[in-house]
Amino acid sequence: MSTTGEKPGVGLYTCTKCGETVYLDDSTDRLPPCPKCHNTEYTP
């Protein structure tokens, strides 16, 4: 599980609340709050 503000690395992350996906394309990117529901937890 990854949370908002972490730098989990390149990949696709899925919101645990609504299923919205966020793609990080750089290892220095931080996970944002979910753009759809503002949840802060993701699964890789």
Domain boundaries, the chain: 1-44
**pLDDT at 41 (0 to 100):** 98
CB atoms within 10 A of CB 34: 22
In sequence order, what are the beta bridge partners of 24? 11
Write the pLDDT tens digit of every residue in 1-44: 999 999 999 999 999 999 999 999 999 999 999 999 999 999 99
**pLDDT at 21 (0 to 100):** 98
**pLDDT at 30 (0 to 100):** 97
C-alpha 13, offset from chain centre: 5
CA geometry: angle 42, 26, 14, nearest 5 deg: 15
